[in-house]
A = this chain, B = another copy of it.
């Protein structure tokens, strides 16, 4: 197995799916000749030609609306929106159509498209380049919202997303793109969409997170182990919506304590739904209130101050200790 960055792993997923299935089409701004601003689509245009890899004009609604048409036809468009901060330009196409064409046509049509887009902070980027607004998509019935946390699951989930018969918003953490390498098998690998995973077993406390925040979360778990002798169970959601609560509910039934971590703004963020599910399904097992460690209710600041905004291991440990204190 080769050791790959997340960028390489995503590239592998695209390359293999495109080789296997000529209905997979990649489109977006700078995805062709340039190979994508983060190089996720690097080399695809050489291998598959400009009929399979479309450098589109600069228009996000255009990209998504055209993808919807392709998907209705039976193709499997994988479009890239250069930064999630510019995916609001195509918000209506997703809400008004991608999410609804199956319903509207009573199953005659479906929209097997993937919208890939880099999200999140931590890479010293410009304004609009560091947001984390998965809630917007998670609150749209008809849409699936997937966020991988490392090269290997990113590859497997992207393959599954491409094959998924429904529209998938696929958030890729810029901070993870080149942060570390993992063994990624050359052979095909998929992962079920809609299923969280237990990243680490534990009995004292449940940490629930996903995406880029898995790193500080795991770091916090290690710190808690080392310094406090606490065994945290760590859940990686992978799919934010439809949110499958079984695994984290089971975990909290066992631990009675939980911390939810995300970089999105706190209020009305994904953490709120997780807390609510636990309220509904694990209330009588909760020893203490669930803690949320999140971005603040502000726009993520420009890069010189972004670190202060983003949750880190210390903040998670503090919250965990609070959750363990009663």
Chain A interfacial positions (CB closer than 8 Å to B): 85-86, 88-89, 91-92, 95-96, 99-100, 103-104, 127-128, 133, 135-136, 138-139, 141-142, 241-243, 264-265, 267-273, 275-276, 279-280, 283-284, 286, 288-290, 292, 297-299
Could you tell me if A272 and B283 are in contact, using CB atoms closer than 8 angstroms? no
Q: How many Å from the CB of A169 to the closest CB on chain B?
A: 13
Contact with A139, one of B96, B267, B289, B290 (Cβ below 8 angstroms): B267
Across the interface, name the chain B residue whose C-beta is closest to A142: B299
Could you tell me if B85 and A128 are in contact, using CB atoms closer than 8 angstroms? no
Q: How many Å from the CB of A195 to the closest CB on chain B?
A: 16
Could you tell me if A135 and B297 are in contact, using CB atoms closer than 8 angstroms? no
Contact with A241, one of B133, B243, B267, B273 (Cβ below 8 angstroms): B267
Across the interface, name the chain B residue whose C-beta is closest to A296: B141
Interface centre among A91, A265, A283, A292 (most CB of B within 10 A): A91
Contact with A272, one of B91, B128, B275 (Cβ below 8 angstroms): B275
A-B contact pairs, 26 of them (CB 8 A): A86-B92, A88-B91, A88-B92, A88-B95, A91-B92, A95-B133, A99-B299, A100-B127, A100-B299, A103-B298, A133-B139, A135-B135, A135-B139, A135-B268, A139-B267, A141-B265, A141-B299, A142-B298, A242-B267, A242-B297, A268-B268, A268-B272, A271-B276, A275-B279, A280-B289, A283-B288
Could you tell me if A138 and B267 are in contact, using CB atoms closer than 8 angstroms? yes
Cα A264 to Cα B272 in complex, Å, equals: 15
Across the interface, name the chain B residue whose C-beta is closest to A240: B268
Could you tell me if A279 and B289 are in contact, using CB atoms closer than 8 angstroms? yes
CB neighbours (8 Å) of A100 from chain B are: 127, 299
